[in-house]
A = this chain, B = another copy of it.
Amino acid sequence: MTLSTRPTITAFERSPDGGQGLARDMRVRWALEEVGEPYDVRPVSFAAMKAPAHRSIQPFGQIPTFEEGEVALFESGAIVLHLATRHDGLLPADPAARVRAIGWMFAAVATVEPAITDREAAEYLEPEAPWFAARLRAAEDRIGGRLADLSRRLGAADWLDGAFSAGDLMMADVLRRLGGSALLAGYPNLGAYVDRAEARPAFRRAFAAQRAFFEAHRAARQDPPRPGSE
């Protein structure tokens, strides 16, 4: 519980993405910007993330978390849903459309993101393994299957189901993790979908905030600039 009058989220003290906004605090920042709620950010070091104080809110020792008054929450999908439920603008009013939008939120984190993080894990943990090329190919085939399905469903529409919703916010942020790869290039409508999402003023404010946060915490420790981060 915090005495602050505005919500506090946690983010990596030093994001491994070098300021690209690929960590999961980005989607929470973005949702907060979409609903117009100011927030504070508490940096968490990799050591602190695994310590009991942080684990009391996030049992798996990850970021982000969300704290506001009595509410202490983890899982980016749950946090965005909480914000979307408490504020207007991120979920449709029609009940059937509303549950479909929530369905897309689950699809983003349970069906699409695991395929993407699986490839990241292989790149991180197994780059020297003799099976790396085959393993990468299997991971990319799986991602390709998800993208093909998603691309077919999106078709020529701007968003997955009518107006922009928390489902699009989650899905677009998940797809952003593919940014550096050629995988998304095979699906021009998905690339345009991510571009459209990133052009939203709320996204741009959230992105700028995470970038400034990254730079401030690097500067505070006098780390050298990282190539491509500025």
Q: Point out residues on A near B: beta carbons under 8 Å.
A: 55, 59-62, 70-79, 81-82, 95-96, 99-100, 102-103, 105-107, 109-111, 113-114, 117-118, 121, 125-126, 129-131, 134-135, 138, 142, 146, 149-150, 152-153
Contact = CB atoms under 8 A, between A and B. Distances in A.
A176 to B, nearest CB: 16
A50 to B, nearest CB: 10
Contact of A74 (B70, B103, B117): B103
A57 B75 CA distance: 26
5 contacts: A60-B146, A70-B95, A78-B103, A114-B117, A131-B135
Nearest to A107: B75
A31 to B, nearest CB: 14
Nearest to A100: B73
B131 A59 contact: no
